[in-house]
A and B are shown apart, each in its own frame.
Chain A
């Protein structure tokens, strides 16, 4: 099973709202990722959690706040977003670099976010 699930599928929010994106995997993976993807562009890495610890923050604005409650779950808390933050937000997971030579990343279906 290589399934990563994400909720919600679609989200519309105002600039003053607070919302959260959720991601779950049951593959026993120890690394989880958040990416942002704009139309006709490749995914852009935002955050990496490795063994439930934040290991990479690609200089993401503080209005995006990640959280990893346990090894299967990953959240992305959103607050005071801007219209330019509208994008497809993708979660991915992998075994983690310590456990696999290849370390394949598997993506969830994404959350389509629109900020009004």
Chain B
């Protein structure tokens, strides 16, 4: 079992719809959770972080964390073509002195006109 799992996609949604990206993790001791957006040929950009159970909203983005189910998700409301990118889920545990991130393989999102 991979430590952090994501569906590789591509996930296609029409413009204006809600995109739902999901991630599961295996380490119950994981401390904090991150979503990065990466455009082709560019570096990852942090868009959301969450460490408590529940929802965290920032503009069109909502991160949801359920530690009991070991599940974290990212909702993108009113999806725009500019949201088309690969979304990386990353999990921070206690290994490496708490500095190590474990990445999922990423989900490619395509927002269609």
Contact = CB atoms under 8 A, between A and B. Distances in A.
Contact of B43 (A33, A50, A110): A110
Interface residues of B, number: 24
A31 interface: yes
Interface residues of A, number: 27
A42 B103 contact: yes
B34 interface: yes
A33 B43 CA distance: 14
A88 B43 contact: yes
A14 interface: no
Interface string A41-59: 1110100101000011000
A34 to B, nearest CB: 12
Given A42-B105, A101-B31, A102-B51, A107 B97 contact: no
A48 B92 CA distance: 14
Interface string A78-116: 000000000010100010111001111111111000000
Nearest to A110: B43
Q: Is the interface of B mostly helix, strand, loop or mixed?
A: mixed
Q: Is the interface of A mostly helix, strand, loop or mixed?
A: loop
B88 interface: yes
Contacts of A45: 100-101
A41 B92 CA distance: 19
Interface of A: 2, 31, 33, 41-43, 45, 48, 50, 55-56, 88, 90, 94, 96-98, 101-110
25 contacts: A42-B88, A42-B104, A42-B106, A43-B44, A43-B103, A48-B96, A48-B99, A55-B96, A55-B99, A56-B97, A56-B100, A97-B97, A97-B98, A97-B99, A102-B32, A102-B49, A103-B92, A104-B34, A104-B46, A105-B101, A106-B46, A107-B36, A107-B44, A109-B42, A109-B43
